[in-house]
């Protein structure tokens, strides 16, 4: 393992600052008779206030890693802890609750429900997290620069606006951790810069941010870079 790539802690997480940690994650998929090992013993930890980038070519396991970190997928081996509480190998209800309160997710596309306006999407996310007041939605919209587009429906948004709106929705529940899976994949560089700046600003205000991507801009924006290749950290 190259230095600076995220050292896995050996005992318990004594560090209060650790918002998210994963220890020796394994995940394999079976398609027919073939078995693919998507993650092989990946470990990382994420502190509040830092922006970590996970980079690697397509097929390296970035998406799988993020899914396991978010509790959307169960690793076959290893554990994931969010805010000091274990999220892996828990019943669905526990994982859902943790996710609602502690984790905000941004995807490459499809961040918004098509039949609701941007503002309604944010309000819905607030409800699911069971926190957040109405005017918080305005604050979020202003944060991502979409104050004028609150009443727009997702089909009317440009690619960049949609991702920014997705970020606002992810932040609606005031999460401790933001996981972004290739958020800038379909965007041009200027817009990409915009998004990354927003994420960095969020990190500075105390949120732990993990961004997966393959463009060099992502790595450049991060405090720390973890490289993945074929499910392993390199």
Partner 1 sequence: MIWIWLHGLVRRRTARMAAAAAGVAVAVALLACLGAFLAASKATMTARAASGVAADWQVQVTGGTDAGSVLGAVRADPATRQALPVGFAQTSGFTYTGPTTQTTGSGVVLGLPDDYARAFPGELRTLTGSGTGVLLAQQTAANLHAGPGDTISVGRAGMASARVRVDGVVDLPQADSLFQKVGAPPGSQPSAPPDNVLLLPQALWHQVFDPQARTRPDLVTTQIHVSRSHALPSDPAAAYTAITAAARNLEARTAGGAVVGNNLGAALDSARQDAAYAQILFLFLGLPGAVLAGLLTAAIAGAGATRRRREQALLRSRGASVRQVTRLAAVEAAVVGVAGSVVGLAGAALVGRLAFGSARFGATTVTAVAWTAGAAVAGLVIAALTILVPAHRDARAMTVSAGRLTVGRTRAPGWSRYGLDFVLLAAAGAVFAVTGRNGYQLVLAPEGQPTISVSYWAFAGPALLWLGTGLLVWRLYDLLLGRGRRLVGAGLRPLARGLSGTVAGSMARQRRLLARSIVLLALAVAFAASTATFNSTYRRQAEVDAQLTNGADVTVTESPGASVGPDQARRLAAVAGVESVEPLQHRFAYVGSDLQDLYGVRPGTIRRATALQDAYFTGGTAKQLTRTLAAEPDSILVSAETVKDFQLRPGDLLNLRLQDGRTKRFTTVPFHYVGIVKEFPTAPKDSFLVANASYVTQKTGSATIGAFLVDTGGRHIASVAHRVRALLGPTATVTDLATTRRVVGSSLTAVDLAGLTRVELTFALLLAAASGGLVLALGLAERRRTFAIAIALGANQRQLRGFVSGEAATLAVGGLVAGTVIGALLSQMLVKVLTGVFDPPPSAPTVPWPYLTALGSITVAALAAVAAVAVRLARRPAVQVLREL
Partner 2 sequence: MSLRDGATTRADGAPAGPADGALVRCVNVARTFGTGPTAVVAVHDVSCTVPSGARVALMGPSGSGKSTLLHLIAGLEAPTGGTIAWPGLGAGPNGRPGPIGVIFQGPSLIPTLDVTENVALPLLFAGVPAEAATVSATAALDRVGIADLGPKLPEELSGGQAQRAAAARVIAGRPRLILADEPTGQLDHETGGHVISVLLEAAEELEAALIVATHDAQIAARLPHRWTMRDGGLTTRGAGPGDDRRP
CA distance 25 to 17: 21
Q: Which does 189 bind (CB under 5 to 8 A by kind): partner 1, partner 2, none?
A: partner 2
**Shortest distance, CB of residue 183 to partner 2, whole angstroms?**
13
Nearer to partner 1, 99 or 202 (CB): 99
Strand partners, 36: 29
Binding residues for partner 1 (CB under 8 A) = 67, 70, 72-73, 92-93, 96-97, 99-101, 103, 105, 110-111, 113-116, 120, 123-125, 127-129, 153, 169, 173
**Shortest distance, CB of residue 93 to partner 1, whole angstroms?**
6
CA distance 194 to 158: 14
Where in 30-59 is the site for partner 2 (CB under 8 A)? 56-59
Residue 118 near residue 142 (C-beta atoms within 8 A): no
**What is residue 42's three-state secondary structure?**
strand
**Shortest distance, CB of residue 147 to partner 1, whole angstroms?**
20
**9 binding partner 2? (CB under 8 A):** no
Distances (CA, A) of 35 to 28, 29, 166: 7, 6, 34
| Token pair 């230095």: residue | 3
Q: Which does 59 bind (CB under 5 to 8 A by kind): partner 1, partner 2, none?
A: partner 2
Strand partners, 227: 55
Residue 144 near residue 165 (C-beta atoms within 8 A): yes
Nearer to partner 2, 77 or 159 (CB): 159
Residue 224 near residue 192 (C-beta atoms within 8 A): no
Q: How far apart are the first and last CA of the chain?
A: 6
**145 binding partner 2? (CB under 8 A):** no
**188 binding partner 2? (CB under 8 A):** yes
**Shortest distance, CB of residue 223 to partner 2, whole angstroms?**
22
**186 binding partner 2? (CB under 8 A):** yes
Of the candidate spans 1-9, 74-82, 138-146, 157-165, the one that interacts with partner 2 by CB under 8 A turns out to be 157-165
């Amino acid at each position: 393992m190259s230095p600076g790539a995220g050292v896995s802690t050996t005992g318990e997480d004594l560090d209060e600052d650790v918002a998210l940690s994963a220890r020796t994650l394994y995940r394999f998929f079976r398609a027919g008779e073939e078995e693919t090992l998507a993650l092989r013993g990946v470990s990382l930890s994420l502190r509040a206030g830092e922006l970590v980038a996970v980079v690697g070519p397509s097929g390296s396991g970035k998406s799988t890693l993020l899914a396991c970190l978010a509790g959307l997928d169960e690793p076959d081996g290893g554990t994931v802890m969010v805010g000091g509480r274990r999220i892996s190998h828990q019943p669905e209800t526990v994982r859902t609750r943790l996710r609602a309160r502690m984790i905000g997710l941004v995807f490459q596309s499809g961040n918004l429900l098509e039949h609701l306006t941007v503002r309604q999407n944010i309000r819905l996310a607030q409800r699911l997290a069971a926190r957040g007041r109405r005017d918080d939605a305005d604050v979020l919209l202003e944060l991502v620069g979409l104050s004028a587009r609150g009443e727009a429906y997702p089909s009317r948004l440009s690619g960049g606006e949609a991702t920014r709106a997705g970020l606002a929705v992810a932040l609606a529940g005031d999460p401790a951790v933001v996981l972004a899976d290739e958020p800038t994949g379909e965007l041009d560089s200027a817009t990409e810069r915009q998004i990354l700046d927003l994420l960095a600003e969020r990190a500075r205000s105390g949120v732990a941010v993990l961004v997966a991507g393959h463009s060099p801009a992502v790595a450049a924006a991060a405090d720390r870079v973890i490289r993945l290749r074929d499910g392993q950290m390199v």
